[in-house]
Amino acid sequence: MGAAIFVYIEMYTIWRPPESVAIKVVAKDLAEDYIAVPGSGVPVPSEVALMMMVSEPSGSPKICRLLEWFDRQDIIMLVLERPQPCIDVAHFCLRGRMSKREAACIIWQVVLSAKHCHDRGVLHRDFKPENLLINTDNDGETD
């Protein structure tokens, strides 16, 4: 997935039905590339197309699934599922030093996510703490 300069993510709760979501906002001038998603043939912004490709079929518990997207005048908004419980790695790291087990769990989640993307023909090239939501209830599991 491509790097972007003007991107921010906010966390929200939708009340009907109650569901936690992440809203990713991308400046439209950064989303000038359009891709026809395999199977649909309709060109959509590349960020949307790539999220559609990794969200289907059946998705993965290691990927935040694309629920909806909106094309506005200056921005593209992506509504993504937000797993519970989770935290972005940047905030997780603010706690200070982490144990080897915590670090191993984070790396394992990243590896499984990257594999899922790769299996669907998507190379994620922007792994960084701000782009990673980690499961904080993993208890060291590596499955």
Q: Which residues pair with 87 in a beta bridge?
A: 134
Dihedral sign from CA coordinates of 69, 60, 98, 86: positive
Q: Which of 126, 136, 100, 120 is nearest to 52 (CA)?
A: 120
CA gap 129, 88 in Å, rounded: 7
Q: What is the DSSP letter of 137?
A: T
Catalytic residue (one of 119, 126, 137, 139): 126
Task: Using only the alpha carbons of the chain, give its radius of gyration.
Answer: 15
Give yes or no: 126 in active site: yes
- The number of CA neighbours under 13 Å toward the Cβ of 79 is 11
Residues marked active site are found at 126
